[in-house]
Amino acid sequence: MLLLPALNAMIDITTTRTMSAQMHPPLIIFVMLAVLALAGAMLVGFSMAGGKSRSWLHIVGFAAVMAASVYVILDIEYPRFGLIRVDAIDQVLVELRQSME
């Protein structure tokens, strides 16, 4: 009787984990992220166009910050493909399964 509730809880958690890994925001969210990044770049470009000289530090810095922000958002959304990985969590589950055998 002690094994059945624990096994049921483990099955529920793995199902919840699998479903959360398969569900992603709709495409419109990613489109809006791209539109907002381009709108921010357009506004900065228009404000810098009136000046006599351009600050390359600000141009490169803004581009780097925008690219890093978009990359981190997408990388967190798809944790198996980028630099932010969930392999350690997977290893814990593999070890748990091996200990049950």
Helix pair 27-49, 56-77: axis angle to 10 deg: 170
The model's pTM? 0.61
- Distance between CA atoms of 7 and 5, rounded to whole angstroms? 5
- What does the pLDDT look like over 67-92, one tens digit per residue? 999 898 888 887 777 787 777 667 77
Instruction: Look at residue 47 in the predicted model and tell me its pLDDT.
Output: 85
Average pLDDT score, the chain: 83
Ranges of each domain in the chain? 25-100
Judge whether residue 26 has pLDDT over 80: yes
